[in-house]
Amino acid sequence: MLANVGFSQEGERNWLRLEYDESEVPFAGKKEIQSGLSSKFYDINKPEGPLINRPYFTPADEPVLLGFRNRPTPWLPLTIIDKIDKLRKGIIDKTEMVNLIKKKAEISIDFYNISAERYVAIRFDGRVVEDANSEIELLLKIQGRDYGIPVFVWHVGHDSFLGWNL
């Protein structure tokens, strides 16, 4: 394949002619460029075989990807909106994800004045959609429901939902 690259020199336009192999150029000849995120998540990393006896991932292999359809337009600080947009595009790393969930939970819980020890489900645009007295009760309430925007769960007054909560 040939390509013409134009440049001017002392008022005169010259053309540099390049020749290259199409197979060496990424996306050459393709009408659409795929993001690669879905294949990273669904095809490359996912091993074949029975459910339980597959080889396991290391934490570094585990992608963070959620099914956002639209960019949310919430009332949150711009830094958080930017993080949500990164999350929507699937380019957020795990540390950013942890901080985003924690920060978002703090803001929403403060705004809605939710008492400590409640379990809450919060949309990524900051809206609290459900709350409950126990984690199972909360998860049963939201299981199978579509809230339009992905929902995360949180234990009010704690650093994390599960584990060594201090």
Partner 1 sequence: MTNGTAIKKNYRNKRAYVKVKGAIINPITTRQIPLDCECRIDTGFDGGIMLPFWHMDELRDINVEARPTNITVADGRKVPAYVCVAHIQELENHPFLMPGRPVMLVMFGKLEGVLLGMDSLKYTTILFDGPNQAYTMNP
Closest C-alpha among 138, 140, 142 to residue 155: 138
How far is C-alpha 53 from the chain's CA centre?
28
Alpha helices in 57-93 (DSSP H): 78-89
CB of 33 to partner 1, least distance (A): 24
CB of 125 to partner 1, least distance (A): 14
CB of 144 to partner 1, least distance (A): 4
Phi and psi at residue 89, to the nearest 5°: -85, -5
The owner of tokens 């074949």 is 48
Under the rule (CB under 8 A), what is the footprint of partner 1? 42, 45-47, 51-52, 54, 56-59, 61-62, 64, 66-67, 94, 97-98, 101-102, 121, 135-136, 139-140, 142-146, 150-154, 159-165
When the beta carbons of 64 and 107 are compared against partner 1, the nearer one is 64
When the beta carbons of 3 and 98 are compared against partner 1, the nearer one is 98
Rg (CA), the chain: 23
CB of 30 to partner 1, least distance (A): 26
When the beta carbons of 25 and 106 are compared against partner 1, the nearer one is 106
When the beta carbons of 3 and 106 are compared against partner 1, the nearer one is 106
**How far is it, in rounded angstroms, from Cα 152 to Cα 99?**
13
**How far is it, in rounded angstroms, from Cα 149 to Cα 129?**
11
